[in-house]
Amino acid sequence: MAEHIQEELDELDESNELYEHYRFVTDPGQKPLRIDKFLVNRVDNASRNKIQDAAAAGNIRVNDVPVKSNYKIKPNEVITIVMSFPRRELKIIAQDIPLDIPYEDDDLIIINKKPGMVVHPGHGNYTDTMVNALAWHLKDVELFNSEDPRPGLVHRIDKDTSGLLVVAKTEQAKNFLARQFFEKTSTRTYVALVWGQPKEDEGTIVGNIGRSLQDRKQMAVFPDGDRGKHAVTHYKVLERLGYVSLVECRLETGRTHQIRAHMKYIGHPLFNDERYGGHQILKGTTFTKYKQFVQNCFKILPRQALHAKTLGFVHPTSKEYIAFNTDIPDDMMEAIEKWRGYIAGREND
């Protein structure tokens, strides 16, 4: 369960009922020590920033009293981390859910994830995820066991983002692939429909990405590097469609919501990205006919316009570079075609 600490700390809300997730009792001889330093060495996979965020939200307590991250612990104190949802021991339930599998061998499997599918189980999504489907498809593969909520996963994409992921089928493959993602030697390109028209046809966005200080459900860009993690996105305009643009984004790093946060940061939120403000009409006219046109596009594409189109890496066994490409899904393609038609109609007026 310790693997879920970062995910759980990210999902704090304002519910009045709180549940204990972690409890520690300090030793009788405990010397004064900042509580964030104490916890970061005892909770697996929890960064100091995550601990500090949890303290700021009032979710770290000493003797049942909320404390700040700079609180210095003393001997015989009871430290708890509380959440607004009950702790749950996750077990993967194998479910016979159809998957689009462009490629599979003894080492790995490539999934073309459909929009709306959550990648792995977590708070609020314990079934019907891609991992539940994989557990059924790979039920005879040792790596997939009921105790590991993220078996074989070396990267992920958001629920409403479509496109390609690679999943390892052996520990050796998982380690080999994970190293490539960590060292940024894998290649990933996305296509996105964004509001407005970038000034340059090509560009690079550099800016740390971390949890927003105003809205915990959003990631924000911290250009001064005082918070978050280093993030780099390269983009290229593929097509200018009046009030929106079709762009290609190549990830140099892989932070949570990286493209969504970076494109908003430069003034071009993804089309119909509710979390980052793209679900409103951000460019265009005030005419009723135009507003209705955009609303129709939103209905056609009821999610952020983002698709993981290509994926490349060195194969863990053959050591050869392999790459995969997938078509833009129908909902996103239909919205693009409507914008093409809209622009063509304006040019013919």
Positions annotated as catalytic residues are: 158
Report whether 206 contacts 221 (CB < 8 A): no
Q: At what angle do helices 330-348 and 288-300 cross, to 10 degrees?
A: 160
22-28 long-range CB contacts below 8 Å, 24 or more apart? 22/80, 22/81, 23/78, 23/79, 23/80, 23/81, 24/78, 24/79, 24/80, 25/76, 25/77, 25/78, 25/79, 26/73, 26/74, 26/75, 26/76, 26/77, 26/79, 27/75, 27/76, 28/75, 28/76
Phi, psi of 174 (to 5 degrees): -60, -45
How many whole angstroms separate alpha carbon 192 and alpha carbon 236?
10
